[in-house]
Amino acid sequence: GQQVMQIPQYQHVQEGEDFTTYCNSSTTLSNIQWYKQRPGGHPVFLIQLVKSGEVKKQKRLTFQFGEAKKNSSLHITATQTTDVGTYFCAGPTDSSYKLIFGSGTRLLVRP
Amino acid sequence: DAGVIQSPRHEVTEMGQEVTLRCKPISGHDYLFWYRQTMMRGLELLIYFNNNVPIDDSGMPEDRFSAKMPNASFSTLKIQPSEPRDSAVYFCASSLSGRFVGAFFGQGTRLTVV
């Protein structure tokens, strides 16, 4: 079955440093979605990428979808303590809406 | 809209008891998902519905788990009988097809089976 892995599992950075998490799927994705879950909270939708090679930005966050539509990345520039949480990628492998989540990357930020 | 509403927020039950988790999706959304989250296994998709019809229940761990969606505004996930290994946070999420807005999650039900 479809597997979506993320690396690293954990990342501990000093406030102001950059952060990147990588998402890799065992199968081609029709689209990729990114979510953020704060400690004790629920996943919150951040963005969706659909096109091969697509890049989108949200303030300090940059999202990229790979050319083969099997991988994606999220880069945060100059992390802040408010960025703390677990970042998940998620996506269906086909035109269905079966949303499979990656293993997540937990970000900790030292003030 | 109040968002996706789940109840109860917390549930503590004894092994062998029946547990029913409830979800009210966002009005107008045509997809509903049930997920289970644990430290060991992450966010697992249990089952999802489209227009109240179960589409894929391959993630339901055992026959002890069942889910229903009798109408567009209500869904239940039932565990009977419950076991300690069922302890987890269960999330319900809904989404609208054709819109690039992702899935909206409820606040989850934290289930503890003792």
Closest CA to B33 of B42, B44, B41: B44
Evaluated on CA atoms A103, A109, B4, B6, the torsion sign reads positive
Q: What integer pLDDT is reported at residue B84 of this predicted model?
A: 97
d(CA A3, CA A23): 10
Which pair of structure tokens corresponds to residue B38?
């644990």
Secondary element (H or E) of residue A34: strand A32-37
CB A104 within 8 A of CB B43: yes
Phi-psi region of A78 (alpha: psi -120 to 50; beta: other; left: phi over 0): left
Q: Which residues of A touch B103 (CB under 8 A)?
A: 33, 43, 45, 90, 99
What is the overall mean pLDDT for chain B?
A: 94
Asked if A99's CB is within 8 angstroms of B48's CB, the reply is yes
Which pair of structure tokens corresponds to residue A2?
């479809």
The β-bridge partners of B95 are B31
pLDDT digits (tens, 9 = 90+) for A42-93: 999 999 999 999 999 999 999 999 999 999 999 999 999 999 999 999 988 7
Distance from CA of A16 to the nearest CA of B (A): 28
Distance from CA of B81 to the nearest CA of A (A): 26
Interface test with A, best of B43, B90, B92, B97 (most A CBs within 10 A): B43
Q: For residue A95, what pLDDT band results from cuts at 50, 70 and 90?
A: low
Asked if A45's CB is within 8 angstroms of B107's CB, the reply is no
pLDDT digits (tens, 9 = 90+) for B8-62: 999 999 999 999 999 999 999 999 999 999 999 999 999 999 999 999 999 998 8
CB A43 within 8 A of CB A36: yes
Asked if A99's CB is within 8 angstroms of B103's CB, the reply is yes
Closest CA to A89 of A27, A36, A28: A36
